[in-house]
């Protein structure tokens, strides 16, 4: 069975500082990996995804993530955080089959940005 | 493209009544739809997967008679919470996938409050 671990429940960074949110997954083959962002009371917005190819993936809002097979990780990064980035971030894994869209989510990391 | 719309965005109902939540794919045919539930400050948990024209597949621990899912057309799936109780209060999110898509697209979510 697939699983996702987001070790950090809550992270606080200063505006303008760099950000890295950790995500580790468990899956028997090469997974499909996603990062979503959720603002309070809102749905999910896809930041980026990895299916295959280049292991460094660029997303929206200046985010990027790197797939590291040896570490079973897919950490999300941003070089300079903006106050509007404060939200909940979810990493998710989907099976590399026709059911890729059936996702298993991590527990989420709440990002707080201080001015 | 790939827009999924949920309705209503918020609903308050009395205990014992039933509530129907709609999930529509606006610009593509959704052969598969997924329903997730999110408790406050927690991650999303998959409740069920529905394929157009067939019965939904429920995840372990999800009551089929409590959460009725219908996927009668390629653009619409409904989740009916029957005889709702306060413990059913939650954020419900759907996602939809077309036949040739490797990922599903999320709706905005529905906040259900049972009083």
Q: Each residue of B68-110: pLDDT tens digit? A: 999 889 999 999 999 999 999 999 999 998 877 777 889 999 9
B47 and A CB contact within 8 Å: no
Give the whole-number percent of chain A exceeding pLDDT 90. 72
Distance from the B91 Cα atom to the nearest Cα atom in chain A, whole angstroms: 8
**Inter-residue contact B47 to B23 (CB < 8 Å):** no
More confident site: B82 or A32: B82
pLDDT, tens digit (0-9, with 9 covering 90-100), for A48-104: 999 888 999 999 999 999 999 999 999 999 999 999 999 999 999 987 555 556 789
Q: Which residue has the tokens 């869209």?
A: A101
Which chain A residues are within 8 Å of B1, Cβ to Cβ? none
Q: Can you tell me the distance from the alpha carbon of A61 to that of A47, in angstroms, rounded to the nearest whole number? A: 8
Mean per-residue pLDDT over chain B, rounded: 92
**Inter-residue contact B43 to B30 (CB < 8 Å):** no
Which chain B residues are within 8 Å of A103, Cβ to Cβ? 34, 44, 46, 95, 104
Residue B103 neighbours by CB distance under 10 Å: 18
A104 and B CB contact within 8 Å: yes
Which pLDDT score is estimated for A34? 94
Residue B22 neighbours by CB distance under 10 Å: 15
Please state whether beta strands A64-68 and A56-58 pair in parallel, antiparallel, or not at all (unpaired): antiparallel
Which pLDDT score is estimated for A1? 78
Given A32, A44, A107, which is nearest B106 (Cβ)? A44
Which pLDDT score is estimated for B15? 97
Among candidate residues A66, A69, A81, A83, the one with its CA nearest the CA of residue A26:
A69
Which residue is closest to A89 within chain B, CA to CA? B43
What single DSSP character describes residue B32?
Answer: E
Pairwise CB contact (< 8 Å): A41 & B111? yes
**Both structure tokens of A61:** 């809002």
More confident site: B103 or A105: A105
Among candidate residues B37, A54, B114, the one with its CA nearest the CA of residue A64:
A54
Interface test with B, best of A23, A96, A101 (most B CBs within 10 A): A101
More confident site: B53 or B36: B36
Given A51, A101, A107, which is nearest B34 (Cβ)? A101
């Amino acid at each position: 069975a697939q699983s996702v671990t987001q070790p950090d429940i809550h992270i606080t960074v200063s505006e303008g500082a760099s950000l890295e949110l950790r995500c580790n997954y468990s899956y028997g083959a090469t997974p499909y990996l996603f990062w979503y962002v959720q603002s309070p009371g809102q749905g999910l917005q896809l930041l980026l995804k990895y299916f295959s190819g280049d292991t460094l993936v660029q997303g929206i809002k200046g985010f990027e993530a790197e797939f590291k097979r040896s570490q079973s990780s897919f950490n999300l990064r941003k070089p300079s955080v903006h106050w509007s980035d404060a939200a909940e971030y979810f990493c998710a894994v989907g099976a590399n089959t026709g059911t890729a869209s059936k996702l298993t989510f991590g527990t989420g990391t709440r990002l707080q940005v201080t001015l | 493209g790939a827009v999924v719309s949920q309705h209503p965005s918020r609903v308050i109902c009395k205990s014992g009544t039933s509530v129907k939540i709609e999930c529509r794919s606006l610009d593509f045919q959704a052969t598969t739809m997924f329903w997730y539930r999110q408790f406050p400050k927690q991650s999303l948990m998959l409740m069920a997967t529905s394929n157009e024209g067939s019965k939904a597949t429920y995840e372990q621990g999800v009551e089929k008679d409590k959460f009725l899912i219908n996927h009668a057309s390629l653009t619409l799936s409904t989740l009916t919470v029957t005889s709702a109780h306060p413990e059913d209060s939650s954020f419900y999110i759907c996602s939809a996938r077309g036949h040739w898509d490797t990922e599903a697209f999320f709706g905005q979510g529905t906040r259900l409050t049972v009083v």
